[in-house]
């Protein structure tokens, strides 16, 4: 009975995704019929052709922004989390409180503040500006995740590294980061998803530059161009393509997220 209920709930939650895929494979005439077609029988791939031709550049922009945000987040968050978890700095508690408070700031407030900062620096309408903006959300979250993992690493491992002559940086690179692989993948995945699904920063810091328009804003502009003239199979196909990278990453990385960080690292 519980299995049936679970399957039913999962089916209800996944139905919008199925309907998006189903509609993307139908013609606009089929979508406009009074009675819906539950299966894309006699469908077409024209929606995907239009999505690739019209939104391919924006998909590439989203990949660059999300990839750059992930890289920048890990480059900043890993050393910062290491300092907070291992080096036992006096201001660690204050910094952790500051990071928690930063997560509570409304996005629109940060977007307006970043607009005022980026404008004189020439970072509006640029991919670099979007990477920096998205990193402001991803870095604090990544530091919190990485610190929790690094604090659980047995100190005997780092002490052994110090005895062997390794400095702080060498210990971080050779000992701490390899053991924190699962935490790095987890924080990197969340950073990628933050940047990939971002709409607020992308719409605020981009004033119409096509080369810096990610797929989230492009899809909104596509729909907003006019409901009566919208090619809905193309819109749904664009949505499917925009959802694919995130779905693939979640499937590939889920075992790393669930894995333990130091299992078997120290023998009793």
pLDDT for 227: 46
pLDDT for 224: 65
Contact 159, 171 (CB under 8 A): no
**pLDDT greater than 90 at residue 243:** no
Give the residue with greater pLDDT, 186 vs 91.
Answer: 186
Query: Would residue 241 be called left, alpha or beta, if left means φ above 0 and alpha means ψ between -120 and 50 degrees?
Result: alpha
Query: Would residue 267 be called left, alpha or beta, if left means φ above 0 and alpha means ψ between -120 and 50 degrees?
Result: beta
pLDDT for 181: 84
Please state the rounded mean pLDDT for residues 13-17.
Answer: 86
Alpha carbon distance 184, 181 (integer Å): 5
pLDDT digits (tens, 9 = 90+) for 53-96: 877 788 889 999 999 999 999 999 999 888 888 776 677 777 88
CA dihedral in degrees (122, 56, 186, 172; nearest 10)?
Answer: -50
Cα→Cα distances 35→12, 20, 21, 106, 233, Å: 20, 16, 17, 42, 16
Nearest to 70 by CA among 168, 138, 162: 138
pLDDT for 128: 92
The pLDDT mean for the chain works out to 82
pLDDT digits (tens, 9 = 90+) for 121-174: 888 889 999 999 999 989 998 998 888 888 887 777 777 777 777 777 777 777
Contact 177, 43 (CB under 8 A): no
CATH of 46-258, one of 2.60.40.1180, 1.10.3720.10, 2.130.10.10, 3.40.50.2300: 1.10.3720.10
Residue 230: pLDDT band with limits 50, 70, 90? low
**Most confident of the ranges 46-55, 62-71, 174-183:** 62-71
How is the chain split into domains, by residue range?
Answer: 46-258
* Helix extents (H) in the chain: 2-24, 28-31, 46-85, 92-102, 107-121, 127-151, 155-163, 168-171, 177-179, 181-196, 200-205, 215-224, 232-258
pTM: 0.82
CA dihedral in degrees (125, 131, 135, 137; nearest 10)?
Answer: 50
Q: Structure tokens of 241?
A: 């393509």
Number of residues assigned to the chain: 268
**pLDDT greater than 80 at residue 42:** no
């Amino acid at each position: 009975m519980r299995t049936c209920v679970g399957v039913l709930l999962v089916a209800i939650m996944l139905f919008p995704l199925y309907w998006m895929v189903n509609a993307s494979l139908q013609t606009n005439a089929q979508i406009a019929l009074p009675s819906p077609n539950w299966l894309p029988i006699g469908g077409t791939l024209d929606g995907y052709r239009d999505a690739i031709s019209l939104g391919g550049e924006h998909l590439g922009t989203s990949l660059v922004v999300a990839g750059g945000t992930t890289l920048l987040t890990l480059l900043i968050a890993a050393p910062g989390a290491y300092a907070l978890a291992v080096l036992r700095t006096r201001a660690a508690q204050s910094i952790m409180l500051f990071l928690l408070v930063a997560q509570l700031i409304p996005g629109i407030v940060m977007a307006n503040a970043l607009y005022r900062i980026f404008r004189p620096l020439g970072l509006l309408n640029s991919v670099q500006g979007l990477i920096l903006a998205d990193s402001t959300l991803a870095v604090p979250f990544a530091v919190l995740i990485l610190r929790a993992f690094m604090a659980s690493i047995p100190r005997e491992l780092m002490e052994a590294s110090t005895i062997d002559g390794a400095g702080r940086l060498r210990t971080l690179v050779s000992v701490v980061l390899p053991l924190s692989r699962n935490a790095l993948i987890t924080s990197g995945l969340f950073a990628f998803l933050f940047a990939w699904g971002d709409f607020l920063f992308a719409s605020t810091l981009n004033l119409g530059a096509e080369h810096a328009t990610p797929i989230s804003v492009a899809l909104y502009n596509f729909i907003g161009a006019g409901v009566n003239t919208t090619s809905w199979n193309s819109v749904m196909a664009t949505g499917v393509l925009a959802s694919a990278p995130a779905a693939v990453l979640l499937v590939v990385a889920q075992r790393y997220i669930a894995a333990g960080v130091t299992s078997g690292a120290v023998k009793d």
